[in-house]
Homo-oligomer: A and B are copies of this chain.
Amino acid sequence: MTTGTPTISGTSGSATGEPGGAAPGLVASLRAALPGDRVVTDPDVLASYAHDEAEWAENVLPVAAVRPRTAEEVQAVVRECIEHRTPVVPRGAGTGLSGGANATAGCVVVSLEAMDAVLEVDELERFAVVQPGVVNDDLRAHVAGHGLWYPPDPASSPWSTIGGNVATNAGGVCCVKYGVTRDYVLGLQVVTGTGELVRLGRRTAKGVAGYDLTGLMVGSEGTLGIVTEVTVRLRPLRDPERTVAGYFDSVVSAGEAVTAVAAAGLTPSALELVDRHCLAAVDAWKNMGLSDDAEVVLLGRVDTPGAAGDAEALRMLAAFEGAGATWAAVSTDAEEADALFAARRLAYPALERLGPVLTEDVCVPKAAVPAMLARIERIGTVHDIVIANIAHAGDGNLHPLLITPPGDEAARDRAQLAFHEIISAALELGGTVTGEHGVGLLKRDGLVAEVSPAVLAMHQAVKAALDPHGILNPGKVLTAPRR
């Protein structure tokens, strides 16, 4: 699922054994500080560490990649990078969509994938302690064995790691009812910008001792610290969900159904939108026969137990029908319902088969969902770009997917324009430039557009305070200050 071609920075792999752009002596110091197999400089391997899945975000080959197995090894890397004034770029599975894990000139990439142990599950207190490389779905499966549930469920959950989820404050399908990654992070072990290994947060249900540095780290995309352990809050496993499916003849009328669900006072456990471009791409790949019946599908779920949940499902159905669904039903067939949600999950890889996909991630107020979907449609028409839509519609988090034919440079330029116009439209409608993917490289201008200069200055001040040497993923989230 990787995309883009890394640009090789400088003269990679020179005869001295120091890749181009590396601080003198850095690689030798890393090798001396760590067990033999941890440090990688083979350009072919480095290429796999050069970028995440953000289409068209700039990237270069790192000068080295390190695959630590302990927090102390991560600390050793950071200390060497401080010593050599070298940028350090942490990464998990590389499924990010904003370029947050992309390698920058002269950097060392730290891949945390090998630190993948679930260290502890406490059933009574309902938390788990995990290393950052644990895959989201693996954590979910592990704690289910204890009768517990880790809610945050990004579409990348079969591959993405908890460390990456923490770095981006990942969302997902169930956020509309259960919140995002930050809501489930009780404590962290972090290597700081001064090379200290510290514990933040707590294991108790409540606590107000000091500033919320734990919450500050979550979503900071590796620019304020490198997470080496995560204590996640868990919930009891929940009852089975009911699924309400609705077909609509336009994205705008589907958007009106989303608003109607909110206006009915419902809190669905999922409310996803998938349009015909996505359905057709999934059909073309998996032959599921989804795209014949609907222009847009809305998939709602309700997990309130018992008769109260049944009543909520019927109220959601009424909201769909009132907004003009061409067909809607409470699914009585779990397999059929799961197939619809599987199509939603497959939409992104199915579209990627058709050409490079530039993924948007705006989030608007629920009332603005129909207007925003209409704006996206118009932007696609004006710039002659195919824009597919999947959305965590229930919380107004839209993922317009801009698709260009492979190798079509003119289409790519038009897509870039459309991308920026979508961001502007979201801000005009009271939204944010990124709902769950993060700022990374792609949304740095968007962040500047969204917040005031004084707030940007607060960001820079916090960054300088916690990363005084400027080595933690510099140039991500915030443009690196000139030196």
**Closest partner residue, chain B, to A464 (CB atom):** B465
Question: How far apart are A234's CB and chain B's nearest CB, in angstroms?
Answer: 11
Chain B residues in 8 Å Cβ range of A202: 432
Which residue in B147, B209, B439 is a CB contact (below 8 Å) of A433? B209
CB within 8 Å of B: which of A40-71? Answer: none
CB within 8 Å of B: which of A133-155? Answer: 147
Is A205 touching B461 in the complex (CB atoms < 8 A)? Answer: no
Kindly state whether residue A300 has any CB partner on chain B within 8 Å: no
CB within 8 Å of B: which of A274-306? Answer: 304-306
Is A176 touching B205 in the complex (CB atoms < 8 A)? Answer: yes
Within the assembled complex, what's the spacing in Å between the Cα atoms of A224 and B224? 18
Question: How far apart are A225's CB and chain B's nearest CB, in angstroms?
Answer: 9
Question: How far apart are A433's CB and chain B's nearest CB, in angstroms?
Answer: 5
Kindly state whether residue A174 has any CB partner on chain B within 8 Å: no
Is A211 touching B196 in the complex (CB atoms < 8 A)? Answer: no
Is A204 touching B259 in the complex (CB atoms < 8 A)? Answer: no
Stretch of A240-248, A314-322, A448-456 contacting B (4+ beta carbons < 8 Å): A448-456
Which residue in B208, B219, B457 is a CB contact (below 8 Å) of A169? B208
Kindly state whether residue A218 has any CB partner on chain B within 8 Å: yes
Is A439 touching B209 in the complex (CB atoms < 8 A)? Answer: yes
Q: Is the interface of A mostly helix, strand, loop or mixed?
A: loop
Is A395 touching B205 in the complex (CB atoms < 8 A)? Answer: yes
**Closest partner residue, chain B, to A98 (CB atom):** B208
Which residue in B430, B451, B458 is a CB contact (below 8 Å) of A192? B458
Which residue in B204, B224, B394, B396 is a CB contact (below 8 Å) of A211? B224
Within the assembled complex, what's the spacing in Å between the Cα atoms of A246 and B152? 36
Chain B residues in 8 Å Cβ range of A192: 454, 458
* Residue from the set A176, A210, A308 with the largest chain B CB neighbour count within 10 Å: A210
Is A206 touching B439 in the complex (CB atoms < 8 A)? Answer: no
Question: How far apart are A319's CB and chain B's nearest CB, in angstroms?
Answer: 12
Kindly state whether residue A200 has any CB partner on chain B within 8 Å: yes
Which residue in B180, B220, B224, B267 is a CB contact (below 8 Å) of A206? B180
CB within 8 Å of B: which of A204-240? Answer: 204-213, 215-216, 218-220, 224, 235-236
The 0/1 profile, CB within 8 Å of B marked 1, for residues 428-443 of chain A is 0011111111110001
Kindly state whether residue A346 has any CB partner on chain B within 8 Å: no
**Closest partner residue, chain B, to A207 (CB atom):** B432
Kindly state whether residue A265 has any CB partner on chain B within 8 Å: yes
Chain B residues in 8 Å Cβ range of A209: 432-434, 439, 443, 446-447, 450-451
Kindly state whether residue A73 has any CB partner on chain B within 8 Å: no
The 0/1 profile, CB within 8 Å of B marked 1, for residues 394-409 of chain A is 1111000000000000
Is B461 touching A465 in the complex (CB atoms < 8 A)? Answer: yes
**Closest partner residue, chain B, to A223 (CB atom):** B211
Chain B residues in 8 Å Cβ range of A33: none
Is A452 touching B199 in the complex (CB atoms < 8 A)? Answer: yes
Is B455 touching A125 in the complex (CB atoms < 8 A)? Answer: no
Chain B residues in 8 Å Cβ range of A235: 267
Within the assembled complex, what's the spacing in Å between the Cα atoms of A411 and B457? 51
Is A459 touching B365 in the complex (CB atoms < 8 A)? Answer: no
Chain B residues in 8 Å Cβ range of A212: 169, 182, 212, 215-216, 218-219
Kindly state whether residue A425 has any CB partner on chain B within 8 Å: no
5 sampled A-B residue pairs with Cβ under 8 A: A204-B397, A205-B363, A208-B219, A210-B477, A461-B468
Q: Tell me the A residues contacting B by CB distance below 8 Å.
A: 123-126, 147, 168-169, 171, 175-176, 180, 182-183, 192, 194, 196, 198-200, 202-213, 215-216, 218-220, 224, 235-236, 259, 262-263, 265, 267, 304-308, 363-367, 392, 394-397, 430-439, 443, 446-447, 450-452, 454-455, 457-459, 461-462, 464-466, 468, 477
Q: Which 10 A-B pairs have the closest CB atoms?
A: A205-B395, A465-B465, A461-B465, A196-B454, A207-B432, A305-B308, A215-B215, A206-B435, A204-B363, A306-B308
